[in-house]
Amino acid sequence: MFPTLTFNELATTLIVPVSQPQEFRLDSLYQRGIVDRSWSIIEPPLYAYGQIQLKFAQGTISVEPNRIGLIHQQSDIDAAKSWSLASARRCIACFPNFAYEGIGFCLTGILRVSEPHTQPEALLRQTLLPVGQWHSIEQIDPCVVLKLVYPLPGRELALLVAEGGIKEQDTMQPTINLRATLMYTVSEVESAHRVAALNTALDRYIEDVKLCKSLIKHYCQQILGTQPRVATRSRRRIRVVRSIIAAQP
C-alpha cells in the first residue's frame, strides 16, 4: 500500500501600500490587470471586515488593506510557478513600491489505514518521532494530531499529521493525512529585481517540494513497516538535509 501524494497549492503574499481600500474592489482589480477577465469566478466575491476574497478556477486572491494574497490551486508545479510570477508582475506594474511578505506551499499525502481502530497518534509517535530531527508540538487544533518540525537553513518545514476520519456509513478505509507546509520570506531587494528574486525563491522551493515528497514517502513507508521505495537521488537529498541539520550548532 502506498500513500497518494498531491501538490495542493502555491501561495505568494505581497505587502502593497494602498491608501484607499476601494482600490482593491473587483472592478479596480480588473482595470489594473491584477485579475484577468478570462478567469472563471467559481464563487461570488466575499466582502467582509475590509477584506475581499475572490475564488477563481485558477486560484484564489485574498485582499485586505495593504496586503494581497495570491494562492494558486494547481497540481502542476510549473503552472503554479508561472501563475505566481505573472500575478507578481501585475502587482509590480500597479504598485511599484510593494514588498514580498512571503511565499509557501502545501503538499498533502493521504495514507489509508487498514485497521479502522488504529490509533494514529500512538502509531505516529512510535514511528515518526524517533526519526531524524522531528520533534512534536502540542496539538494545535482539533483536526491536527501532531505537528513535526524539520529545520532547514533559513526556513522551517512543518509536517502536520491529521486523522482523516471515516463516516459510519462509509465503506472506505479511514485515512491519515500528512500535510507538509513550508513558508519563508523573500529577501528584500530593489524593486527592479523583485521579479528575479521571486523567480529564484520559487526555483528553490520547487526543489523543496521534491524534498517534501521524498520525506513524506519515506515516513509513510515507515508507518507501514515496509522498506521505503524512494529514488536513489531522493534518498541522497534526505541524507544531505540530515547532515545539514546535524552540523547546526
pLDDT (tens digit, 9 = 90+) per residue, 174-185? 455 555 555 544
Residue 132 DSSP one-character state: T
Q: Count the neighbouring beta carbons within 10 Å of the beta carbon of residue 176.
A: 23
Q: What is the pLDDT of residues 110-145, one digit of tens each?
A: 554 444 444 545 545 554 444 444 554 445 555 555
d(CA 234, CA 212): 10
Rg (CA), the chain: 20
Q: pTM of this prediction?
A: 0.46
Angstrom CA distances, 247 to 145, 231, 238, stand at 30, 25, 14
Which residues make beta-bridge pairs with 162?
Answer: 144, 177
Which of residues 103 and 59 earns the better pLDDT score? 59
Averaged over 207-235, what is the pLDDT? Answer: 52
Three cell numbers at 110?
Answer: 493521504
**3-class state of residue 145 by DSSP:** strand
Q: What is the largest CA-CA distance in the chain?
A: 58
pLDDT band at 230 (very low <50, low <70, confident <90, very high): very low
Report pLDDT for 27: 76
Q: Count the neighbouring beta carbons within 10 Å of the beta carbon of residue 20.
A: 9
Averaged over 85-95, what is the pLDDT? Answer: 69
| CA angle at 241 for the pair 182 and 158, rounded to the nearest 5° | 25
pLDDT score of 54 more than 70: yes
pLDDT band at 240 (very low <50, low <70, confident <90, very high): very low
d(CA 15, CA 13): 7
Q: What is the pLDDT of residues 147-163, one digit of tens each?
A: 666 555 555 556 665 55
Cβ neighbours of residue 63 under 8 Å, at least 6 residues apart?
A: 24, 29, 51, 52, 53, 54, 69
User: How high does pLDDT run on average in the chain?
Assistant: 57
